[in-house]
Structure 1
């Protein structure tokens, strides 16, 4: 009789082994909160958090300090976590080693944070005094820490939600492909979807909203601004440019010229009514058409008969700091014709990030249109041609000429305030400065070009007037901000510092970049001569470029006092 072969039952251990081998590759479940903090991430996070309280170019209010600290700590945590993951590829520490590391961190981190908070409050007070700002109320450290922790917590939760989504995608893909490929696919899918959502939904909508809001603002009129009665102003009843088409900043520009009696009182002689011409975005369809409209306005107002013609490339919204044109009008007793035109509704920083070609196209069109007509006039009788640019306007002016030599030959004087890191001519001149001269006040031999970190230094110049003057406050983040701050120590923090840069400021990778980026938000809130505020300092700039006959340093001081009063 044949014996039947009966398989012996499997013991539980054998069944678990077989199940593990035959089961499909599935990525284990993950949770957002269950995952603990990374020890390396926490360590680097604490270092970044402490360093973010070190001073930068400008003082920061307590609430912004909290946001910056939380954001910077998040970057530190991300970098530390990535570093820990790389280390674990070669060496996996035991649980005992991790526990020791946590104990050391928990002992060292709290006193280091308290020390950083105390030093940070002191540095902020000293920085305000250095810039001539009024002392602030006691630095609110409790609320600063609270905002920083909230910012860090929200960003960490968002990162973990994205990681959980990546693991979820990996679980789905793990049923079809090996585990490593599933992880990669999940990461790629979440990254692409996250970027699309950020760029398509957030960035695009924010830009659209900002553009719509700026357009609405541009259609308004400032308090006390009314249509000018003088035919020498754009927007008047006799003007070829309608009042409504000027935009908010254009209406400010044409109506804020000093009155003739004020000009006469300062000059000590009879003054004339100055010419101010402006074209808004709605005044004509294209930059070339707006520039042509400006030239026709100059013909109508007989602007070519004035002693000075000045072309202003404004900031992004079309704004021109009124101290700058007013200073020329006072210097020449109103015998001036000042022209400008708008190229955007948006602030300079948005225009700079989104599309710099608009300012280049507008500046090139206006400067070329005016220079073409001016160059046809007899050399001995034509007016002085001056050109001005501030912030993004300096970029458009430089791109119009292309080289420093072309700028020197292209006008009787060019004044540029607060140039950006992207300015090609400024970058070339700074790189080729005379050995030993600091980057914040470089000396450039061979060309009549002058740099000024403090406007009153221009009063000590000797020899003939300069042809190009750069005014760049050593605490102006618009001038010194650059993406390279992420990984490279800048020259303005090496050697001798600028006069209003605190010696307590040091460069740290990533951190200094974010601090300087935040400084941009408050660059226009600093006192005159600091940050991105130049205002009456333009008087020193114009006096170095094109002083009227008999102009003295005493006149410069007197005019600055009048403008600042």
Structure 2
């Protein structure tokens, strides 16, 4: 027998031994959850992400099935006590697996195609669903092995402790000790190590400059020769922000009148020592460039790595003929998904510090000679920007309005506004007092033409960043009980444990969706700013013209 034959024999032996060691209830649960994992969610999933989601769900299903099996046995049912009955049950499960796994593979591929068409994504995408099973099996095998190791550790420790104390108490103490050890390992050892590695990696990326981005010569930009901020200290996203945007010629071509050069000021992590010092530097840059003399002054809170939506900035600059000043600063080198997990304290802290620093100078100006002060942010930037305020009443009292896009569901202001929606109003697109103060918009046209809200929340019904929550693990959210708004799959349903991991994997490529879907916000920002801070004479026709201009230069973030 050759080497390939020997390997096949070993694999068969391993598979047989592994199969016999599995719990019948666990296998039933694993098969059920694997099939559930193939159902559609908010966005289309790449085949390898489907494999990850299916692997995690399969292990969770195995745990649920094993627990229920043990519970049934405790209640006195011994249907699988005899080996013959167990063999029959295993054969039935094997037959079901042979039928259901290919069936749900085909159904899953069809569901993903339907979701791709729904969000106008590329439908000519290779879906290697045959590999989903392989990825799911390997990942499930690894996770199950880890779980079994922890169980073995707890049992061994319990037997050891049982020499001196009652066995039930020893087992309970052992389980607690193993749990605490795992938590400490993750939080005090692996967590900090991974965070340091991530910071080092992303710091190297932050030192680079995007293709085509060059140091500005306009004195109205940070990083220019006239600036108080060094070009090299701005960070990758800061350099892109200050060096791009519409020129005065571009703006004049849109407005038909002479334009001012828009002010963009920014401070990177290396620009000053600490968030307060960065904010003070931004204020000095605003004073140097005459930002407090413009008609509109924007405090923009960036995402994790310092990104500010260029379409949002350009939309305001076109609308106001360049008579704007936008101020931002960097508070991290980590992308939002990483910062989202490891650091949710810094974004609101940075948002408040920057706003307070700008507001302190702004409020000293004559009331009739102040610029209109607004705030904006997207994703983690929206979460951070809202940290500047104690409530929506504070927004209206301290500023002239806010535009927040793709707000994470754990943002306190967003949570309160959503909870206070009018009775019968859907959580997907809440309505509060006919948009008198707060207006939610899921798509172009959602903001009434006559509305003049102080706050606009942009949130797509299929944006996983907005709808992700730990509550998805065990609680059905209101938005999944509601009739799906346009853009959300009508076949999506809530499944305990499974939906959480589906929405989690949806977030990975949510920003890569076409404009208006997922976590990609661009042209709808025109209507948002047109409602919160409209220039004189602004109309629906002007808004449509601006959308065409922004579309012609691209809307990617």
Q: TM-score, normalised by structure 1?
A: 0.89
Matched, 1:560 2:547: yes
Task: Please say if residues 29 and 65 of structure 2, whose CA atoms lie closer than 8 Å, have aligned partners that are also in contact.
Answer: yes
Alignment partner of 1:113 is 2:113? no
Q: What residue is the counterpart of 2:205 in the other structure?
A: 217
**Aligned position for 1:54:** 39
Alignment partner of 2:103: what SS? Answer: helix
Q: 2:349 aligns with which of 332, 337, 361?
A: 361
Partners in 1 of 2:155 and 2:453 — Cα distance? 64
Alpha-carbon shift at residue 110 of structure 1 (Å): 2.6
Aligned equivalents of 2:429, 2:75: Cα separation in 1:
50
**Contact kept in structure 1, 2:259 and 2:321, CA below 8 Å:** yes
SS at match of 1:91: coil
Deviation at 1:148, TM superposition (A): 1.3
Displacement after TM superposition at 1:388 (Å): 0.5
Structure 1 residue aligned with 2:27, among 42, 46, 53?
42
Q: Partner of 2:446 in structure 1? A: 457
CA offset at residue 409 of structure 1? Answer: 2.5
**What's the C-alpha RMSD, in Å, of the aligned pairs?**
2.0
| Residue deviations 1:500-550 (CA, integer Å, cap 9, x gap) | 110000000000011011111111111111111102321111111112122
Computing the radius of gyration from Cα coordinates, the structure with the larger value is 1
Q: 1:516 & 1:262 partners in 2: Cα distance?
A: 40
Following superposition, the deviation at residue 129 of structure 1 comes to 0.4
Structure 1 contact 492–498 (Cα < 8 Å) conserved = no
Q: Partner residue of 1:448?
A: 437
How many Å apart are 1:83 and its aligned residue? Answer: 2.1
Match of 2:376 in 1: 388
**Which stretch has the larger CA shift, 504-513 or 115-124?**
115-124
| Corresponding residue to 1:79 among 64, 77, 81 | 64
Describe the SS at the equivalent of 1:380: helix
Contact 1:455/1:541, CA 8 A, preserved across alignment: no
1:172-191 correspondence runs (5 A): 172-173=160-161, 179-181=167-169, 183-184=171-172, 186-191=174-179
User: Contact conserved, 1:305 with 1:383, CA < 8 A, in 2?
Assistant: yes
- 2:264 aligns to what SS in structure 1? strand
How far apart, CA to CA, are the structure 2 residues paired with 1:191 and 1:436?
44
Distance 2:382 2:481 in 1: 26
Distance of 2:256 and 2:536 partners within structure 1 = 14
Determine if the alignment matches structure 1 residue 69 to structure 2 residue 54.
yes
Structure 1 residues 355 and 194: CA distance shift in structure 2, 3 A? closer
Structure 2 counterpart of 1:279: 267
Please tell me whether the aligned partners of residues 58 and 523 of structure 1 are also in contact (alpha carbons under 8 angstroms): yes
How far has the Cα of 1:396 moved from its partner? 2.3
**Contact (CA 8 Å) 1:481, 1:513: kept in 2 or not?**
yes
Question: Hey, what's the Cα distance between the residues in 2 that align with 1:35 and 1:76?
Answer: 18
CA deviation after TM superposition for structure 1 residue 185, in Å = 5.1
Alignment check: 8 A CA contact 1:218 1:247 kept: yes
One of 88, 91, 105 as aligned partner of 2:76: 91
> Which blocks of at least 5 consecutive residues in structure 1 are unaligned?
1-31
1:556, 1:515 → 2: CA distance?
A: 36
Deviation at 1:109, TM superposition (A): 3.3
Q: State the 1:64 CA deviation.
A: 1.1
Aligned pairs for 1:429-448 within 5 A: 429-445=417-433, 447-448=436-437
The alpha-carbon deviation at position 199 of structure 1 amounts to: 3.3
The aligned residue for residue 11 of structure 2 is none
In structure 2, what is the Cα distance between the partners aligned to 1:130 and 1:92? 47
**8 A contact 2:351–2:386 mirrored in 1:** no
Mapping 1:161-560, distance limit 5 Å:
161-170=149-158, 172-173=160-161, 179-181=167-169, 183-184=171-172, 186-445=174-433, 447-458=436-447, 460-463=448-451, 465-560=452-547
Match of 1:13 in 2: none
Taking a change above 3 Å as real, the CA distance of residues 33 and 172 of structure 1, as seen in their structure-2 partners, is: farther
Q: Kindly tell me: are residues 233 and 90 of structure 1, through their superposed partners in 2, closer, same or farther at Cα, counting changes over 3 Å? A: same
Q: What residue is the counterpart of 1:19 in the other structure?
A: none
| Aligned-pair CA distance for 1:439 | 0.8
CA offset digits 1:10-38 (Å, max 9, x no partner): xxxxxxxxxxxxxxxxxxxxxx9596110
Matches within 5 A, 1:17-36: 36=21
Following the alignment from structure 2 to structure 1, what is the Cα–Cα distance between the partners of residues 276 and 170? 56
CA contact (8 A) 2:224 2:231 kept: yes
- Aligned equivalents of 1:517, 1:307: Cα separation in 2: 41
Q: Distance in 2 between matches of 1:174 and 1:494?
A: 50
Distance of 2:478 and 2:537 partners within structure 1: 40
Distance 2:266 2:335 in 1: 18
Say whether the 8 Å CA contact 1:311–1:340 is kept in structure 2: yes
The separation in 1 between residues aligned to 2:179 and 2:18, in whole angstroms, is: 21
**Which one is further off, 345-354 or 226-235?**
345-354
**Residues 238 and 266 of structure 2 are in contact (CA less than 8 Å); yes or no, is this contact kept in structure 1?**
yes
Name the SS of the counterpart of 2:388 in structure 1: helix
How far the C-alpha of 1:353 sits from its partner, in A, is: 2.9
Q: Structure 1 residues 264, 225: closer, same or farther in 2, change over 3 A?
A: same
Residue deviations 1:182-239 (CA, integer Å, cap 9, x gap): 5445544544443333334432221111111122221222222222111111111111
What is the CA distance between 1:67 and its match in structure 2? 1.4
With normalisation by structure 2, the TM-score equals: 0.91
For these two proteins, the number of residue pairs brought into alignment is 532
Q: Is the 8 A contact 2:300 2:385 kept in 1?
A: no
Residues of 1 paired with 2:368 and 2:188: CA distance? 57
Q: Corresponding residue for 2:5?
A: none
- Greater shift after overlay, 109-118 or 323-332? 109-118
Q: Distance in 1 between matches of 2:533 and 2:68?
A: 58
Once residues 379 and 177 of structure 1 are traced to their aligned partners in structure 2, the CA distance between those partners, rounded to angstroms, is 75
| Whole-angstrom distance in 2 between the partners of 1:219 and 1:259 | 26
